[in-house]
């Protein structure tokens, strides 16, 4: 090994350790109270942003689906899977609220939701505030990682996938099982 490469690798490792130890890496864990937030939300056919708070959804199961960018291939596959499997994943009643969260602006998210015809509510985290709370913000880029968090009716984190594998059916099977467990929890 060339002696000059070792210090460069050591510097990279030091950078990775510093990123891992940063506040962005502190993430809520299963069983912990889910951090509250307020976010502007839009839905298919309604581009008027409405403020939603996590605490306002207490008593319901909330699926926080952080994703990088609207209209990208992986994100489109994920939201189409939610749309196409909605009943199997989340049930047909109103007990489950699915919120897709990205740093896109509300207008972009509303247009995309309408194009997809999805029942998912979209949250516009344009300042990365919610992404930071849930350690979903990319360290350098102004986008989110693909994380999925299920918050139980009690406001505690019931399940999480970090990262969520949007192209693998077993990820959706695990999500459906987590939602079923959250439904049966008192």
Q: Which residues are catalytic?
A: 75
Please report which residue ranges of 47-136 form alpha helices under DSSP H: 73-84, 86-90, 106-116, 129-133
- The residues near 83 (Cβ < 8 Å, ≥ 6 apart) are 116, 117, 118, 119, 120
What is the torsional sign of CA 68, 162, 168, 16? positive
Q: How, if at all, do strands 96-102 and 121-124 pair? A: parallel
Say which residues have a Cβ less than 8 Å from residue 166's Cβ, sequence separation at least 6. Answer: 74, 75, 77, 78, 81, 146
Is-cis flag, bond preceding 163, omega within 30?
Answer: yes
| Number of residues that this document lists for the chain | 186
Instruction: Name the nearest CA neighbour of 38 among 56, 58, 61, 60.
Output: 56
DSSP symbol at 110 = H
């Amino acid at each position: 090994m060339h002696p000059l490469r070792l210090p460069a690798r050591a510097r990279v490792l030091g950078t990775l350790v510093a990123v891992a130890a940063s506040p962005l890496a502190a993430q809520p864990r299963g069983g912990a109270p889910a951090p509250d937030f307020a976010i502007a939300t839009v839905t298919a056919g309604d581009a008027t942003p409405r403020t939603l708070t996590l605490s306002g959804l207490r008593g319901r199961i909330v699926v926080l689906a952080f994703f990088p960018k609207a209209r990208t291939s992986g994100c489109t596959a994920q939201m189409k899977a939610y749309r196409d499997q909605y009943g199997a994943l989340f049930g047909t009643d109103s007990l489950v609220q699915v919120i897709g969260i990205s740093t896109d602006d509300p207008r972009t998210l509303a247009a995309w939701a309408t194009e997809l015809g999805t029942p998912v509510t979209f949250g516009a985290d344009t300042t990365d505030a919610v992404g930071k709370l849930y350690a979903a913000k990319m360290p350098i880029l102004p986008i989110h990682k693909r994380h999925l968090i299920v918050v139980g009716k009690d406001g505690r984190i019931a399940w999480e996938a970090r990262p969520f594998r949007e192209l693998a059916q077993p990820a959706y099977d695990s999500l459906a099982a987590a939602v079923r467990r959250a439904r049966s929890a008192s």
